[in-house]
Structure 1
């Protein structure tokens, strides 16, 4: 459930083994993923024999936290994790798991000094799932802990997305660890969080690690803005640390955006917007003042162009303080166009460049951006946030 299942993926657990199409010649080495992560195999990739996929035992079980020993002289293989144990023998289809005799789909074999077992042995002995991805030629292994956590995480993220899509701030906040730094930061951004209606779609998610009281989840999320002041849609990659709160269930202890792409449609960029001349002039002047302050490396003047309510104010202060101290950069505004306006809020699409005059290594660039601006109580237009849509090296 927590893994995006491609159309080509099939769980082919036939006769206790993963089967490949008869006569299929491997076009590339077979890969292994464990809980969504590619396993380093050092050239010891899975092999296919008579329709059964064999996987290298040691790297797979070690990734699952299972200790393995192999007696090269006798061909005996032993493994354990906690109170669970198993014993196999090279060339024998019989093994023991926790003292109980088990019949394997095929006998373990030694290939260049490494033990290989049928992929199905992993799921049959240690739980979880083993699937075959025909398109990517990969064995997908889901650990027992992850498989057990998947239904709970599916329900948790459905609850999270539902709260976001209802714009129910209290319901969103209830899914974070009470009193945590993250919960306090979210509370401070209540107005910003609830300013827009949005639809959150979980495009992909997988459990990176699952323990009894802590689960790490990686997601890809698409957010579509449906109402409120202009804000671009976005697609983000995120990592969540989710912890068990006793009888209260699971809660988000930490969340990190590891990558984000802002998305503005051609229709939005080409929109014809009617803006009173006075506001159009004031917005243009504020943008110019912002660029002039950046080129003069005047941090006070630069921050004076930013609205006091901007959630990025402190971040901007730190970022540009470091930039001004480290570099001499020329910022230029090539084109600018207002693409959204409602009298109080506006958005400006711009093409701008940044070219280094002095300082350490820096990549000169041209960027397409959207900057949101807001008219404050004094009737002054101030910058809120700049979103980088695309950038190219100069």
Structure 2
């Protein structure tokens, strides 16, 4: 009888325990977290899985990826842009656009509690970035760093090989770095034809590589050091470039935009003492005197007579003169000393120490005047300020 009671008691306890377990509410799944290169993207509204597709707020996602965001309240359209990349989605529509190309979405973007939600994987992969879903940890990882580093190595090799070809004067090889469908391909060809007359040692640096869908954006620094041929300043050009894959899947320069240009003095130029015939020295000094007299007397016709037509210096001064800047200021420019530091064939460089009396103030400067011979007359082609 005692055993019977214990058995009933245990049975009753098990019944109560089981009921309690069954009555306990199921544990809610952890909130989905999204990471970009290991850093979590914070959303005001938690990410949502809908029919197997993860949706997130559009603005924090686009901004984390470096895209400019636009919301058109009239058309209910979301637009994200980065350089030449454009993504467009519309609330309630399964049609999206990537650079104008129509893409079919599994599920349309929608609103929830006042928040506009878009499919995360579509956005990330449209920007060229791989996405990984960890079901156990309920995390989504967007890996921009790995793909950027990988492509960065390819882009650096592209420009290293191009620089080596330019240094050798092999412009047929150098132009293979240019995308054959570039809208500026003819301009690239013409530039290389002009460059063929010169000899340079070329080196490059590539940085700020960014993946943007089917394009790559980077900053390229190209250094040109003269090694022979006609005279030219050493220089560094800074370019914002866009690269796209060619038919073989290799990254090629599609377009560029020069945002800075620096000129340099080649080693030993200022200390050089070339042999120059006396008659040539006299002609060079006549041109320099004409230049100073025409400028100081504001005799524009006389001043222009000392300049090489359509040269860099001519174009700069023509702009200033046309703007009336020469007439508006009171100045007098004098050469304190001058010395020829380069002379070869039809090119000469004169190093000049100058004093400029400008609106009551006095300034001292050091300049290199590059003169070229045209029809037996020496004319000023360009001027480089080398004041320290």
User: Which residue of 2 is the match for residue 367 of structure 1?
Assistant: 365
- Cα deviation, residue 80, structure 1: 7.3
> Secondary structure of the residue that 2:269 maps to in structure 1?
helix
Task: Name the counterpart of 1:241.
Answer: 241
Residue of 373, 376, 382 corresponding to 1:385: 382
TM-score, normalised to structure 2, is 0.58
1:288-299 map, 5 Å: 288-299=289-300
Alignment of 1:99-248 (within 5 A): 99-102=134-137, 125-129=141-145, 144=146, 146-172=148-174, 175=177, 180=183, 183-184=186-187, 187=190, 190-191=193-194, 193-202=195-204, 204-234=205-235, 236=236, 238-244=238-244, 246-247=246-247
Identify the residue that residue 280 of structure 2 maps to in structure 1. Answer: 279
Verify the 8 A CA contact 2:240 2:258 in the aligned structure 1. yes
Query: Cα distance, 1:102 vs. partner?
Result: 4.4
Instruction: Give the CA deviation at 1:227.
Output: 0.7
Judge conservation of contact 2:239–2:258 (CA < 8 Å) in 1: yes
Distance 1:384 1:366, change over 3 A: same
**Structure 2, unaligned stretches of length 5 or more?**
1-35, 44-59, 69-116, 125-130
| Contact preservation (8 Å) 2:175, 2:189 | yes
Closer, same or farther: CA 174–239 of 1 in aligned 2, 3 Å: same
Equivalent positions of 1:283-322 (< 5 A) are 283-308=284-309, 310=311, 313-322=314-323
Deviation at 1:147, TM superposition (A): 2.7
Whether the 8 Å contact between 1:84 and 1:97 is mirrored in structure 2 is no
Asked if 2 retains the 8 angstrom alpha-carbon contact of 1:173 and 1:183, the reply is no
For 1:185 and 1:246, the matched residues in 2 are separated by 17
Query: In the aligned structure 1, how far is the partner of 2:239 from the partner of 2:287?
Result: 37
Structure-2 separation of matches of 1:66 and 1:237: 27
Give the TM-score normalised by the residue count of structure 1. 0.57
Query: Which of these two proteins has the greater Rg computed from alpha carbons?
Result: 2
Q: Counterparts of 1:246-265 in structure 2 under 5 Å?
A: 246-247=246-247, 250-265=252-267
Structure 1 Cα separation of the partners of residues 184 and 294 of structure 2:
33
Rounded to whole Å, the distance in 2 between the matches of 1:240 and 1:388 is: 26
In 2, Cα distance between equivalents of 1:103 and 1:297: 76
2-structure distance, mates of 1:182, 1:321: 34
CA RMSD of aligned residues (A): 4.1
CA contact (8 A) 2:313 2:380 kept: no
Q: Which runs of 5+ in 1 are unaligned?
A: 1-33, 36-53, 68-77, 86-95, 105-123, 130-143
Change (3 A) 1:189 1:162: closer
Cα drift, residue 150 of structure 1? 1.2
